[in-house]
Amino acid sequence: MLLVLLVMIVVLAVLGGVHWYVWRRLVRDVTAPGSLARRLGTVAAVALPLGSVAAMASGRAGAPFWLQQTVAWPGFLWLALLLYVTLALLAGELVRPLLRRVLERRAARVPVAAPVPVPEAVPVTVPETAPEPLSETETRTEGGPAAGEEAGPAEEPVSPSGSGSGATATGDFSRRLFVSRIVGGAAAAAAVGTVGYGTYGVLRGPRVKRVTVPLAKLPRAVHGYRIAVVSDIHLGPTLGRAHAQRIVDTINSTQPDLIAVVGDLVDGSVADLGPAAEPLAQLRARHGSYFVTGNHEYFSGADAWVDHVRELGLQPLRNARVEIDGFDLAGVDDVAGENEGQGPDFVRALGDRDRSRAAVLLAHQPVVIHDAVKHGVDLQLSGHTHGGQLWPGNLLAELANPTLAGLEQYGDTQLYVSRGAGAWGPPVRVGAPSDITVVQLASKQA
C-alpha cells in the first residue's frame, strides 16, 4: 500500500511539473500579464488536467455512463495532446537559442542613421544705423531669454536609435516574445495535427492485414485455412456501437473460416455496453467465432461478459479446447484472472491432447508464450500490446512484452501479436495503426 501511495505521489508530481512547463511556454511566455488571454490560458491549464482525472476515474467510481461519455472525450484527448505538445516544446528548446541568435545578428546589421550636417555660418554685413530696440514681448517671441533671465542649458542631441540601454532592453524583450510565440505556436500546431490524424485513424476503423504462417503438423487438406484475429476492441465511453459495427463489417468482408476475438473487448459493464456489443452477433465464419478474456474484462465483470458474448453467438474458450478439421484450437483465461482465482490453466486446456495434431492457442497476453512452448503449441495468437498505441509508448511496451507486434518464433512455437482494433484511454493511435489480421495457415506438406 505504501509503494502504491509513493508511486501515485511521483506520478502526480510529474504531471504537475509537465503542466506547469506547458503553461509557462504556451501561456506565460506569450501573453501580457493580466491580459484576457493569460487568464483564459491559466484556467485551461487547471481545468484540462482535472478533466483527464475525471475521465480516468469516472468509470472506476461507478459514475453514470452518460457522465463517463461526457468527460471521456475531452479528458482523454487532452492526455494525448499533452504528450505531443510537451515533446514538441522540448524539441523547441533546441531551436529557441538559434532563432534568437539569428534575430540578434539581423538587428546588429541594421545601419544607424547618419547625423544631419549643420551648414556653415555665413557672414552678415551689419548696417551702420543701429536697429530700434525690441520690446520685451518681441524679445521673448524671438526665442531669447528676457532681460535679467539666465539662459537655460542647451538641449543635447538625441541619437536616432533612442537611449542605449532602454532600446537594447526593449529589443531583447521583443525578440524573446517573438521566439516564444513562434516556438509555442509551432508546438501547438504539431500536437494538434498529430493527435487529429491519430484520432481519425481510430475512428476510420482498422485495416486488414494478411499473414501466412506455415505449420509443420498441419495436414494438406487444411492448407490455406484463414483465421480472422481481432483483439483490443475496447468498447467504452469513447468507442461504441458504430466502432463495433465497423469491425464486424471489416471481418465479414474477409470471409474467414474462423474468427478469434482475443480479449479486451470492453471497458465497462454489460449494463452500460451491452447495446454497443450487439453487432458482434452479425459475425459470420464457416467454423464460428471464439472468444477469450483479456485483462480489461476482469475490470468490467468477466463472468457477465462471458455469458453475454455467448448469447451473441461467440463461443468462449475458458481454459478449453475444441477440435477443428486438421488442428486443435485452445484458449486460456487472461493472467489478470489470477486475482479472482481464475487465470490461465494450460494443463486443462492442452494437457491431454494428441500432440501429433497442430495446436493453435488463443491467449490475450504474449507473456504466456513460454507456457505455450512447454505445452507443444504450434501457433499462439495474442494482442494486448496495441503496438505501443502512442509513440514513443512502443519503447515501454517492448520492455513489458516478448513481442510488440507481428510474427516471431520461440522454440517450436510461433507467436503472432496483433496491434488491436481499438484504443484504450485516448482514442488516438500514433505510429501503431489498428488492424484486423487474417492469419492464413499453410501446410508444409502442400
Do the Cβ atoms of 267 and 234 come closer than 8 Å?
yes
DSSP state string for 236-275: SSSS-HHHHHHHHHHHHHT--SEEEEES--BSS-HHHHHH
Backbone angles phi, psi at 313, to 5 degrees: 105, 0
pLDDT at 158: 43
98 versus 243: the higher-pLDDT residue is 243
124 versus 63: the higher-pLDDT residue is 63
pLDDT at 189: 97
Confidence of residue 128 (pLDDT cuts 50, 70, 90): low
d(CA 294, CA 415) in angstroms, rounded, equals: 17
- For residue 115, is pLDDT > 70? no
d(CA 218, CA 378) in angstroms, rounded, equals: 10
- For residue 401, is pLDDT > 90? yes
Confidence of residue 110 (pLDDT cuts 50, 70, 90): low
pLDDT at 256: 98
d(CA 425, CA 158) in angstroms, rounded, equals: 63
- For residue 393, is pLDDT > 60? yes
pLDDT at 197: 97
This prediction has a pTM of 0.83
Cross-strand bridge partners of residue 213:
441
pLDDT at 167: 55
| DSSP annotation of 158 | P
What pLDDT digit, counting tens, does each position of 38-53 carry? 999 999 999 999 999 9
With residue 50 as reference, give the H or E element that holds it.
helix 36-58
Confidence of residue 124 (pLDDT cuts 50, 70, 90): low
Q: In what order do the strands lie in the sheet with 435-443?
A: 207-215, 435-443, 225-230, 258-262, 289-292, 315-316
171 versus 20: the higher-pLDDT residue is 20
How far, rounded to the nearest angstrom, does the alpha carbon of residue 136 sit from its chain's CA centroid? 83
Provide, rounded to the nearest whole percent, the portion of the chain with pLDDT above 70.
85
pLDDT at 145: 47
Buried-state track 383-405, b at ≥16 Cβ within 10 A, e below 16: bbbbbbbbbebbeebeeebbbbb
- For residue 207, is pLDDT > 70? yes
Mean pLDDT of 193-205: 97
Backbone angles phi, psi at 344, to 5 degrees: -75, 140
Angle formed by the axes of helices 2-26 and 164-204, to 10°? 120
What pLDDT digit, counting tens, does each position of 256-305 carry? 999 999 999 999 999 999 999 999 999 999 999 999 999 999 999 999 99
